[in-house]
Amino acid sequence: MLGGIVVYTKLNPYVVMVHFFATMLLLVDAVVLVHRSPRDYSPGSAHLLVPRPLIRLFYGALAVLALVIAAGTATTGAGPHAGDASGQQIAKRIPIALRDMAELHSSLALLLIGITIGLVVAIHMGDVPERVRRSARVLLIVMVAQAAVGYTQYFTHLPALLVEVHILGATALVIGAVQTFLSCTYHAPRC
């Protein structure tokens, strides 16, 4: 229904932002459901595999990720891509300079990368299972790749294909962040 509203509002960037954010929340829900789907999953039996301060730091990283996504969608809303194909009406844009939004988005993304580097280092220094370490490393690699795509798309004047790749990367980043967070706990099998 929200997608229909996006169309009827002629790709209003604020409605598109809400739609994208809602999609990311549904993606988070899907990753959690897949994580909890094994028959032997027992919801009340969670045991932390990392120290509690790292879980708190991870909550902070997830909050910054949400800000990065919000700033990214606002950057897209301030940019040139929306209904600009031949025969379409050009959608209204967010009245903020693209450069300013891109700088805010990239600054938040760099903060997120810094926090994630700290998490990865702390995870590797602690007595943590290898699956958690591997998940954290993969998350960092996805994050750095996503940043590289973002900078490339900005400095090549936002080719539409790279914008699509960047959105795909955001999706992979959300999946990776949630999976890494979920890997920090162990659920004992039901007896």
- What is the percent of the chain with per-residue pLDDT over 70, rounded to a whole number? 88
Asked if pLDDT for residue 48 goes beyond 90, the answer is no
| pLDDT at position 86 | 53
CA 97 – CA 116 distance, rounded (Å): 29
Among 109, 93, 97, CA closest to 142: 109
Q: Which two tokens stand for residue 42?
A: 């027992």
| pLDDT at position 80 | 79
**What does the pLDDT look like over 58-99, one tens digit per residue?**
999 999 999 999 999 999 888 876 554 555 566 788 899 999
Rounded to 5°, angle at Cα 112 from 111 and 113: 90
CA 171 – CA 183 distance, rounded (Å): 18
| pLDDT at position 63 | 97
pTM for this model (two decimals): 0.88
When pLDDT is averaged across residues 117-140 and rounded to a whole number, the result is: 95
116-150 burial, b at 16+ Cβ within 10 Å, e below that, comes to beebbebbeeeebeeebbebbeebbebbeebbebb
| pLDDT at position 47 | 82
When pLDDT is averaged across residues 157-166 and rounded to a whole number, the result is: 90
Contact 20, 170 (CB under 8 A): no
pLDDT higher for 42 or 155?
155
Q: What are phi and psi of 41, to 5 degrees?
A: -70, 130
pLDDT band at 10 (very low <50, low <70, confident <90, very high): confident
**What does the pLDDT look like over 15-46, one tens digit per residue?**
889 999 999 999 999 999 998 887 666 666 67
> Number of C-alpha atoms within 13 angstroms, CB side, residue 133?
10
**What does the pLDDT look like over 166-191, one tens digit per residue?**
999 999 999 999 999 999 987 665 55
When pLDDT is averaged across residues 103-129 and rounded to a whole number, the result is: 96
